[in-house]
Amino acid sequence: MMEAARQLRMTRRTILKSSIAATAAIALAACGGAAPTPTPAPAAKATTGTNAGTGASTTTGAASSTSPTVAAAAGSATSPTTAAAAGGAPKKGGTLKISQPIPITPFEFQQLGPHTATTILGVFDTLIRFDAKQQPQPWLAESWSYNADKTELTFKLRQGVVYHTGRAFTSDDVKFNLTRVQDPKVASQLAGQAKTITDMTLPDKQTIVLKFAQPNPAIFDALNILAILDSETAANLEGAKQVIGTGPFVWKDYVPGSKVTLIRNDKYWQSGKPYLDGIELQITDDKQSMVTAVESGQRDLAWQVLPQDLNRLKSNAQAMSVVSDAGAQFYYIGVNTQGDGVTDKRVRQAFDFAIDRKRITDTLIFGLVQPDTIAWPHSSPAYNATISNSVTFDLDKAKSLFQAAGVAPNTTFMIEANAQDPINGKIAQIVQSDLTKINIKLDIQSVENSVFQSKLQQAGFKQLFANTEGFSNFNPGAWFITAYPVRIPDNASKFTPPEYSDLIKKMQVEPDPTKLKALYDQMDTMLLDGAFNLCICQAPQGWVLQKSVKGFTYDTFNFIQLGDVWLDK
């Protein structure tokens, strides 16, 4: 078990080398140990894809005279993210028992909240999957190619894929899903990216052509995580009347706010998968009890575990912890830039200097992460250590900025904290305590998660709000049209100066990595100056799992590749 714990601390590069040698199961970039060798799938055709970060061409599948050959058989692409050692050949059978604190509402699968991470890749597939280097690899799309000016992207779809109803998957379904997430009623965070598609044509049932007004390399971020619903039954997602996908498991039973049951899809397009008979997801409000249930052997896996438990179980003999290094989520304090008393950026900057990030990471998160003032994982091309570390805890500076902005002593500001994660409220309490030292008051309001999410989507906060933000590991250009706290044109902070929008648009289409880096640095500087999104640190997402859980992999959005999981019991 100590060896398994050691593997969890391996670097991305080490893990990638290990997983290539082991022909690991498909997943996305993060860290972990060796995975079981999956049942081989038919080799994919030569695939001209796009580097998700730069827009540069890359070839996967068949040999190429201009780029390295990468094995791209669906279901056997390299995986850098495995947390459980293989322990021999995969065993079939058994039910994986998962616990998490937030209920799953089927209608929200394309909204991409973190609560769907445990089951989304069980029920559904996506068009492509990123490999360890954020390069798109075949999944439901077998191959793709651009036209000369990269304004048209043609996908050839995998044949032989059927929905859980038995109906064949076609290009009509892809068009339906890309259209669906543009609908405001769906409230998908992929709407901004989907709207960059100006037209879609369907030459035949296995081909779809996406058209853009300009080159759009960031579209692959959306295609990597867009759950492909069944176009004929998607209207029945509400209330879980029908939850139909092409994934390795079939949605069987649903008790709202309590339980989800999935069973094996015997007609899954990847031969030999899944290994499990089924999955049982239990919802519990008590994060401590769900960890205890794993430690006692009553449950196999717990998701969204408290930092103290992730820290405590780093090398436990029975139930080990896995801390995701995906860098998808960060704690932050948002500010409504049009809110009463906070329109002056000096007030917002004062709050930034009043956040003791080091104290927060040490006391609330047990040193699992380090402070950051901009929400980029360190692997992101937009991360700049010099800029990110330029704001430090300085109450004198904060006091000076408040005074310069004309804020009177004993002025009270309100912060709304998402109650779903107790750390949000505790962060607010630390800031509140420090602000009293410079005669500024902070009124903390705890807001129930569903109400908070509604306010987030509708920019309905009065002044300040505390929460976690996601998609930070997206292509940076995509992040700014996806994530509610920062996206254009309707972010939760109502921050919409023309120069902000213009810079985002440039980031989306610039193909030159050097020029892109300069744009990213400009954006980082603008974020700090505008002080509407006060990043604190990465939110350590993680799991506790029984040592009998094998083939466990997670991707850059913490989605579990459930088709690869098996139980050694």
What are the tokens at 126?
A: 């996506």
Q: For the chain, which domains are there?
A: 2-39+58-325+542-567 (3.40.190.10), 330-538 (3.10.105.10)
- Provide the pLDDT for residue 457: 92
Residue 9 has pLDDT above 80, yes or no: no
More confident residue, 330 or 509: 330
- Provide the pLDDT for residue 324: 86
- Provide the pLDDT for residue 115: 85
- Strands of 463-540 (E only): list them: 464-469, 533-538
Residue 508 has pLDDT above 90, yes or no: no
CA distances from 255 to 105, 282, 329 (A): 10, 10, 28
* Contact present, 534 and 355 (Cβ < 8 Å): yes
3-class SS of residue 176:
helix
Burial class (CB in 10 A: 0-12, 13-18, 19+), 292: middle
CA distances from 475 to 388, 504, 523, 555, 566 (A): 18, 12, 14, 15, 32
What are the tokens at 170?
A: 């076609």
Q: Distance between CA 175 and CA 210 in Å, rounded?
A: 9
Task: Average the pLDDT over 489-494 and give the result.
Answer: 95
Do strands 542-546 and 47-50 pair parallel, antiparallel, or not at all (unpaired)? Answer: unpaired
Q: What is the pLDDT of residues 552-563, one digit of tens each?
A: 998 878 899 999
Burial class (CB in 10 A: 0-12, 13-18, 19+), 89: exposed
Q: What is the pLDDT of residues 181-237, one digit of tens each?
A: 999 989 888 998 999 999 999 999 999 999 999 988 889 999 999 999 999 999 998
- Strands of 47-135 (E only): list them: 47-50, 57-60, 95-100, 128-130
| Backbone φ and ψ of 462, nearest 5° | -75, -50
| 84-88, 302-306, 355-359, 448-452: least confidently modelled range | 84-88
Q: Which amino acid, 336?
A: N
Task: Average the pLDDT over 15-39 and give the result.
Answer: 29
* Contact present, 19 and 26 (Cβ < 8 Å): no
Residue 331 has pLDDT above 80, yes or no: yes
Q: What is the pLDDT of residues 416-429, one digit of tens each?
A: 999 988 999 999 99
Q: What is the pLDDT of residues 286-328, one digit of tens each?
A: 999 999 999 999 999 999 998 999 999 987 778 899 988 788 8
- Provide the pLDDT for residue 511: 81
Instruction: Return the DSSP state at 553.
Output: B
* Contact present, 222 and 194 (Cβ < 8 Å): yes
Segment of 24-38, 114-128, 343-357 carrying the highest mean pLDDT: 343-357
Q: What is the pLDDT of residues 445-458, one digit of tens each?
A: 999 999 999 999 99
CA atoms in the 13 A half-sphere facing the CB of 131: 28
* Contact present, 459 and 494 (Cβ < 8 Å): yes
Residues contacting residue 94 through CB under 8 Å, at least 6 positions apart: 276, 277, 566, 567, 569
Which one, of 367, 156, 99, 118, lies nearest residue 247 by Cα?
A: 118
- Provide the pLDDT for residue 34: 28
Q: Residues of the chain with pLDDT > 90: what percent?
A: 67
Q: State the SS3 of 444-465.
A: EEEECHHHHHHHHHHCCCCCEE
**Cβ-based neighbour number of residue 148 at 10 Å:** 6
* Predicted model pTM: 0.74
